[in-house]
């Protein structure tokens, strides 16, 4: 029998009983309201004399934060400033981010989070998650019991082995789970008190980190094979035992771990891999919108991938699902429209040596080709997708060779951070006389070419994963399925307006992220209820139910407990 709906993210304005007093409250970022404590609260909670006399409202506090933020010019300094605010006052931190979403998303996530991860051990100030290491083997359940929240809706976990396009950053990779969960809160309204970032520290092979006296992770080489999966199994068992309904998001694992982890757990626990499924969905959404500009179908495309790792295969799988759905084809038939290129050239069945398993479905039965330019000239693609982590691989000859056969080439330079992009927005527009339909993984500014201003789309996973996560949690889903991501992609693609398409933009305004996440979460919930994957009973109005589950940062009145 379905449970009655019991997941509600409270936005209560009822007085909150508080047990602590004085500095205990001011030093707790979850309780601290800073100068916003009222005169009555100051008397009741022992705060008199510990704060300036004036009681400020949240708007005044935001103004003060922004005045200090504006003085900073270096993105890493801005990141540190915002993290320090979160360490003092969680509610104010999220209000500031929500009020300044488009400006601050590139600071709290890509591209700045990559640089923050590189310097994580040098910037460290205060705990913002949990670290699971080999020394915890056999007692991970006991370690997880140290986390104070009795209810956790979502865990984002990484082993730091493939941070964006920056490679193995070990324990410094904690910046990714922290950043992703910030986006869950601001983008979809997951309650911050019910999120948990985790770094699985199984060592690092990064020599620079191993020799860094300020590195905070385990200073041994990475473990692999059975030893690696034993500790992951123990973590999954312990996490789901303490929080039975928790959603686990796997993030930034290397290809040899990303696919096996997803396949190992996807049918057993509520989990997904954002690099595979989230990236695939956001790219498919962009491609659907791009074909609207050209008034074509997905099945009309010839698609070349530069890169054949987890992101590329995730994108290809999602696009092939879209093609198959559009024209009632099989996945195998849809894959005939895809060519994959890795560091050795075109992925073919004739290549010497054994292919990695995730590449096998996309291996072409044709002659090898060594360079991207050679492949573009042979295939005559209409779509070029970069997920290689190798900057400047989309050269002017490559893009011009593509345009010679396709007037409006679709060029997706998706590698992160910005320094790893396969080409810049300006290059793509300039080389094609403004004809390219361009998207990137990290943001690029608007570009003026031949008297027109083009607004490049950013294929940001933030468009997808917060809404999928909220939907899965809100309906009490048993599993996260590929179909949920496919549904999310179609939902996102059709949110793009005709005006945005005319400007060459294939993704909606990021400032609408809460409305976008609401639409995606509602669609995911509907699918889960239709397919019998939800534990909670279906409400009369799914959209309003999901809306009621979204956290909005605001102060509650306090009373002494």
Residues marked as catalytic = 109, 180
Given a contact cutoff of 8 angstroms between Cβ atoms, the answer to whether 387 and 414 are in contact is: yes
67 Cβ contact partners less than 8 Å away, ≥ 6 residues apart: none
Of the candidates 124, 187, 190, the one whose C-alpha atom is nearest the C-alpha of residue 155 is 190
Query: Rg (Cα) of the chain, in Å, rounded?
Result: 24
Task: Tell me how far apart the alpha carbons of residues 210 and 232 are, in angstroms, rounded to a whole number.
Answer: 23
Bridge partners for 447 per DSSP: 454
Q: What tokens were used for 528? A: 């889960």
Task: Tell me how far apart the alpha carbons of residues 358 and 256 are, in angstroms, rounded to a whole number.
Answer: 9
Q: What tokens were used for 235? A: 């973590």
Tell me the three state secondary structure of residue 103: helix
Bridge partners for 253 per DSSP: none
> What is the helix, strand, coil percentage profile of the chain, to 5?
50, 10, 40
Q: Cα 337 vs. chain centroid, distance in angstroms?
A: 27
Question: Which residue carries 């004085």 as its tokens?
Answer: 22
Q: What tokens were used for 109? A: 């996530």
Q: Angle at CA 321, nearest 5°, toward 317 and 322? A: 120
Beta strands, E only, 60-212 = 130-133, 154-158, 195-201
Bridge partners for 193 per DSSP: none
Q: Angle at CA 173, nearest 5°, toward 186 and 188? A: 15
Given a contact cutoff of 8 angstroms between Cβ atoms, the answer to whether 92 and 58 are in contact is: yes
Question: Which residue carries 């460290």 as its tokens?
Answer: 124
Given a contact cutoff of 8 angstroms between Cβ atoms, the answer to whether 137 and 227 are in contact is: no
Given a contact cutoff of 8 angstroms between Cβ atoms, the answer to whether 466 and 517 are in contact is: yes
Backbone dihedral region for residue 46 (phi beyond 0: left; psi -120 to 50: alpha; all else: beta): left
């Amino acid at each position: 029998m379905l449970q009655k709906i019991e997941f509600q993210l409270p936005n209560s304005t009822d007085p909150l009983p508080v047990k602590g007093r004085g500095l205990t409250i001011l030093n707790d970022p979850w309780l601290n309201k800073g100068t916003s404590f009222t005169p009555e609260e100051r008397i009741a909670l022992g705060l008199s004399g510990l704060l300036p006399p004036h009681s400020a409202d949240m708007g005044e506090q935001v103004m003060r934060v922004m005045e200090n933020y504006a003085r900073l010019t270096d993105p890493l300094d801005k990141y540190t400033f915002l993290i320090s605010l979160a360490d003092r006052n969680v509610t104010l931190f999220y209000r500031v981010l929500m009020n300044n979403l488009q400006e601050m998303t590139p600071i709290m996530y890509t591209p700045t989070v990559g640089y923050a991860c590189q310097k994580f051990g040098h910037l460290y100030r205060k705990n913002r998650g949990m670290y699971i290491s080999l020394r915890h083997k056999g007692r991970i359940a006991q370690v997880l019991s140290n986390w104070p929240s009795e209810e956790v809706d979502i865990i984002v976990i990484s082993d730091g082995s493939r941070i964006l396009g920056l490679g193995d950053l070990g324990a410094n990779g904690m910046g990714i789970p922290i950043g992703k969960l910030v986006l869950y809160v601001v983008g979809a309204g997951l309650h911050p008190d019910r999120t948990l970032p985790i770094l699985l520290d199984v060592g690092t092979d990064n020599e620079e980190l191993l020799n860094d006296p300020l590195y905070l992770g385990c200073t041994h080489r990475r473990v692999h094979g059975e030893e690696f999966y034993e500790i992951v199994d123990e973590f999954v068992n312990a996490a789901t035992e303490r929080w039975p309904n928790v959603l686990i998001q796997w993030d930034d694992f290397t290809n040899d771990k990303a696919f096996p982890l997803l396949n190992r757990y996807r049918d057993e626990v509520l989990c997904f891999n954002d690099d595979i499924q989230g990236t695939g969905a956001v790219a498919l959404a962009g491609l659907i919108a791009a074909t609207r500009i050209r008034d074509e179908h997905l099945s009309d495309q010839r698609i070349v991938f530069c890169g054949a790792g987890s992101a590329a295969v995730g994108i290809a799988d999602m696009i092939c699902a879209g093609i198959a759905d559009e024209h009632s084809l099989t996945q195998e038939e849809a894959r005939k429209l895809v060519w994959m290129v890795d560091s050795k050239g075109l992925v073919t069945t004739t290549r010497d040596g054994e292919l990695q398993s995730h590449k096998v479905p996309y291996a072409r039965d044709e002659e090898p080709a060594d360079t991207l330019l050679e492949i573009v000239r042979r295939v005559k693609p209409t779509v070029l997708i970069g997920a290689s982590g190798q900057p400047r691989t989309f050269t002017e000859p490559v893009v011009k060779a593509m345009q010679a056969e396709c007037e409006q080439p679709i060029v997706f330079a998706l590698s992160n951070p910005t320094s790893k992009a396969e080409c810049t927005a300006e290059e793509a527009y300039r080389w094609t006389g403004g004809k390219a339909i361009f998207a990137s993984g990290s943001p690029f500014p608007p570009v003026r070419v031949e008297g027109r201003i083009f607004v490049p789309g950013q294929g940001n996973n933030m468009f997808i994963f917060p809404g999928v996560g909220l939907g899965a949690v809100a309906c009490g889903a048993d599993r996260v399925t590929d179909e949920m991501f496919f549904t999310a992609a179609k939902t996102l693609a059709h949110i793009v307006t005709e005006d945005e398409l005319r400007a060459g933009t294939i993704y909606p305004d990021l400032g609408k992220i809460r409305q976008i996440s609401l639409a995606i979460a509602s669609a995911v919930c509907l699918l889960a209820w239709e397919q019998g994957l939800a534990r909670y009973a279906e409400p009369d109005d799914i959209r309003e139910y999901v809306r009621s589950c979204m956290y909005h940062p605001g102060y509650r009145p306090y009373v002494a407990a």
